[in-house]
Structure 1
Amino acid sequence: MERALKLVAASLPLVFAFAFLVPVIDQGMRALGLGAPFGLSTLTFALIVGGAWGLFAQVTGRWI
């Protein structure tokens, strides 16, 4: 049980990125009428940006 909790705690930056940041980026772009670059959908763009940001936080241990 302790091992499972440590695994969950270690992956929280990625969980936060995909559960919170991706929808906020996607809906924010739609609300502002912004299009994603390279012909991507706003959701695909949000997954790329949010996932990269979450991975950065996972690896470095900080968000900025």
Structure 2
Amino acid sequence: MEHALKLIAGVLPLIFAFAFLVPVIDQGMRALEINAPFGLTTLTFALIIGGVWGTIAKLTGRWV
């Protein structure tokens, strides 16, 4: 059980990124009518940005 909790705590930045940041980025881009680059959809672009940002937060231990 302790191992499972440590595993979950270790991926919390990624969970936060995919559960909160990705929808916010996607909906913000749609509301402001901003097109994603390279012909991507706004959701795909948000998944890439959120995933990279969450991974950086996980590896460095900080969001900024």
Same fold (TM over 0.5): yes
Q: Which residue of 1 aligns with 2:49?
A: 49
Match of 2:28 in 1: 28
What CA deviation, in whole Å up to 9, does each residue of 1:31-52 have, x standing for no partner?
Answer: 0000000100000000000000
User: Runs of 5+ in structure 2 lacking a partner?
Assistant: none
Q: Identity over aligned residues, as a percent?
A: 75
> Once superposed, what is the RMSD of the aligned Cα atoms?
0.4
SS across alignment from 2:63? coil
TM-score (norm 2): 0.98
Q: TM-score, normalised by structure 1?
A: 0.98
Give unpaired runs (5+ residues) of structure 1.
none
Q: How many residues align?
A: 64
The runs of 4+ residues in structure 1 deviating greater than 6 Å are none
**Amino acid of the structure 1 residue aligned with 2:34:** L
